[in-house]
Chains A and B, each alone.
Chain A
Amino acid sequence: MRGTVGKGAVMPNELILNKEHLTGFLRKIAKERELIAPIKNSYGDTLFEVISSVDDVSLDLESRPAMPPKDFFLPPTETLFNYQREGKQYRFEEVLPDVSRVLFGLRSCDLWAILFLDVVFQENFKDRYYLNRRSNTILINIGCHEPMLNCFCKSAKSGPFLTQGYDLQLTDLGDRFFVEVGRPRGRELVDKWDYFFTSATQKDRDEQYEIVLEAESKFGQTVDLDMATSRLINHEVDDALWEELGNRCQGCGGCAYVCPTCYCFNIVDRPVSETQGERVRMHDACTLAGFTRLAGGYNPRQERSRRIRRRFYHKLPFAIEKYHRPSCVGCGRCMEICFGRVDMIHFIKMVCERGKKASQEASLRLGEILVQAGLISREELKVALEKQADTGKPLGIQLIEDGLTTTKEIALALGCQLRIPETAGTEG
């Protein structure tokens, strides 16, 4: 134990907060900062809400809120600039909100997701809007002693309890909370209102450890995220699987909207008048065709199956390659909401169940490519090759002149074969 309880003293890293003191502690916080916590409303939904008064809300620390907390750092719609035009002058004025918040009662997976977003928005070019909000927000999570039906944070290594990253982490010990102090913000909080806390005893620690152990054994979902990832990296997933997922996806974008780590966004201008407007950023979803379509109509990911494939590759191997962790925290939200079972759990199970199918390496010869693509028959190829010997024209041109194929088809087949992503699937 590093300190003793008392005025001006440094609090230890493991504390006890009696449940009867929780409201008082939150009341103090709410006086200084915007307090956000999971609230069960009168309709029965649990949502993260800004709490104006701690007295007339019913805190729900038992279930995971319907939506993740990312909206507080990356709002669904956010004004980046106001812009105006006077005469020929065109000016941008930054809009930077002033916030100081405490997010209380986060699930471990959701807190872990925020740490993931931290990395994304801090690497290379730093995102001023995200960091402005994030730098002044304190994160307090509550370890999950009872995983929900679709939770698999254990497989994603993001819960049910965290070992780092939180400001404070709570464990429900029945009549009291076991409080672990993490980052300095958490320390500031407990130091400031130290009189709510007492030091944890060995008995508390033992009890807490027991709860952690118990929680980890309670998961209903067993999902082998690592195996799925390795299959994806080795391209052992057959096209039929993507095709099937593509058919089942209904294109609602819900998986991206409810995902605590999905951060893709769109930036658009929202005209206000003839002389002014707002530049806003809003949530976007990679499962939409318009996400990648170019102005001229070309779309590298026109087929839904490709967009789905891209999504899962991004969530697992790409994120792991880049950030050394999957951008899936195992919260199970996509599983709850997907229309067509194109969610992470079903996906991983499908991938793990299906066998391995090696990809084919084919020759570069144009004729072969076209035959393989089903654009011409082997017979037609033979005839065209003979003709070509006479005319001296390139084979492609010969085939086009013979009306056997079009330039576009050749381009398409070539694109597929040469793995030039632009030409493959540029329809629509």
Chain B
Amino acid sequence: MEDRAQTLVRKMVPNIYQPYPVSVHGVKEETGDIKTFTLGFKDQEIQNRFTFRPGQFVLVSVFNCGEAPISICSSPTFSKGLQLSIKKMGLLTGEIHRYTEGDEVGLRGPYGNGFPLEQLCGHDLLFVGGGIGLAPLRSLIQYVLSKRSQFGGVTILYGARTPQDIVFKDDLAAWDKEEDVQVTTTVYRDNPTWKGEVGPVTRLLEKATISPSNTKAIICGHPAIISYVVFDLLKMGFAEEDIITTLERNMKCGVGKCGHCSIGSKFTCMHGPVFTYREIKTFPTGF
């Protein structure tokens, strides 16, 4: 016996867990274990409704493997589909690495708060990325470059384990050519052909010319790297609210219900994954 209230629920409440199919349009091998997938919507209407901010993520369904949160690495201004860079880690990511053009995955989102674009406007920007942490930054960097006049100088510092582990090589080269953009890449362990910097990404910070008072720093990478960089930025005189980073958490629902990604009284999927250091400081260790 369905009654009025139930009818209302069925009619008015959309299914927040429903993935819609998207198909793989292109696969680019970034490194030995990272691939960038370009996805195209099957349904024009869904595509039109799908708008996002840099820093947001989607939940990707892979047949028989469940769902995983992946941050969007393309800019909202990029018109040829949605791009996700995925590192091979477990069952789901291993499976999607086997996918080629035409294969379908499920998608829902975008979720999360994204980067605070309004607050970044008019400032110099310092991007510090480590490993695959460059992916969400890429979305923002490309957005910034497409709206160049709204932002100040851009410094991009990127660290990878080895030269083979550098992602978005073409993008890094292209960004470097842009006006008022400085890109420096460093590797932790070099090889004979490597001509760039060697050492941790924090070492690049010392050499960069940055004015902490008018710069917003955006950091993304392995948690240990974030700690180092935050520590150095504070020493340099960055204000706590000018240090922006993303936190990675185990996520299941993406919509603030399942409880997995909780941090303090917040959910990373709803209030994050982008936080300022000032906010992060209020979360007691291990919450």
Chain A residues engaging chain B, CB cutoff 8 angstroms = 32-33, 80-81, 83, 85, 88-92, 94, 96, 98, 100, 120-121, 123-129, 131-132, 135-136, 235, 263-269, 271, 277, 279, 281, 284, 286, 291-296, 298, 300-301, 303, 306, 309-310, 313-314, 317-318, 321-322, 364, 366, 394, 396, 407-408, 410-411, 414-416, 418-426
Contact = CB atoms under 8 A, between A and B. Distances in A.
Contacts of A407: 200, 224
Contacts of A126: 13, 16
A291 B1 contact: no
A366 B257 CA distance: 39
Interface string B240-255: 0000000111101101
A125 B255 contact: yes
B193 interface: no
Interface in B23-60: 23
A265 B254 CA distance: 12
A269 B65 contact: yes
A90 B104 contact: yes
Nearest to A120: B257
B217 to A, nearest CB: 14
B9 A419 contact: no
B259 A286 contact: yes
Contacts of A421: 247, 263, 280, 283-287
B122 interface: no
Contact of A423 (B14, B203, B224, B252): B224
B14 A128 contact: yes
Chain A contact surface mostly: mixed
Contacts, number: 213
A313 B226 CA distance: 26
A128 B265 contact: no
A67 B125 CA distance: 54
A94 B223 contact: no
Contacts of B63: 83, 85, 90, 277
Given A91-B21, A322-B265, A421-B247, A127 B16 contact: yes
Interface residues of B, number: 69
Nearest to A364: B234
A366 B93 CA distance: 37
Interface of B: 1-3, 5-6, 8-10, 13-19, 21, 23, 61, 63-68, 89-90, 93, 102-106, 200, 202-203, 223-224, 226-228, 230-231, 234, 247-250, 252-253, 255-260, 262-265, 270, 277, 280-287
B265 A318 contact: yes
B287 A124 contact: no
B1 A32 contact: yes
A94 B227 contact: no
Contacts of A286: 259, 262
A301 B286 contact: yes
Nearest to A275: B63
Given A132-B9, A310-B262, A415-B223, A267 B105 contact: no
Main secondary structure of the interface of B (DSSP, over half): loop
Nearest to A359: B284
A88 B61 CA distance: 14
A408 B13 CA distance: 47
Given A136-B2, A419-B281, A89 B17 contact: no
B67 to A, nearest CB: 6
Nearest to B1: A100
Residue among A80, A124, A425 with the highest chain B CB neighbour number at 10 A: A124
B150 to A, nearest CB: 30
28 contacts: A80-B17, A83-B61, A83-B63, A83-B106, A94-B15, A94-B18, A124-B255, A125-B16, A127-B16, A264-B258, A265-B252, A265-B253, A277-B63, A279-B61, A281-B17, A284-B258, A286-B259, A291-B260, A301-B287, A309-B287, A364-B231, A418-B227, A419-B282, A420-B280, A421-B286, A422-B226, A423-B223, A425-B285
Given A85-B63, A127-B257, A310-B286, A294 B250 contact: yes
Given A32-B1, A128-B13, A81 B18 contact: yes
Contacts of A92: 18-19, 21, 61, 106
B1 A33 contact: yes
Contacts of B249: 292, 294, 300
Chain B CB within 10 Å, residue with most, of A128, A129, A318, A407? A128
B9 A131 contact: yes
Contacts of A85: 63, 104
Contacts of B21: 89-92
A132 B6 contact: yes
Nearest to B206: A394
Nearest to A320: B265
Contacts of B287: 300-301, 306, 309-310, 313, 421
B227 to A, nearest CB: 4
Nearest to A366: B231
B245 to A, nearest CB: 9
B17 A408 contact: no
Nearest to B111: A125
B34 to A, nearest CB: 13
A268 B281 contact: no
B164 to A, nearest CB: 19
A277 B257 CA distance: 23
A263 B260 CA distance: 11
A136 B265 contact: no
B2 A408 contact: no
A293 B250 contact: yes
**A-B pairs, 8 with minimum CB distance:** A422-B223, A264-B259, A411-B224, A306-B286, A135-B5, A125-B255, A318-B265, A90-B104
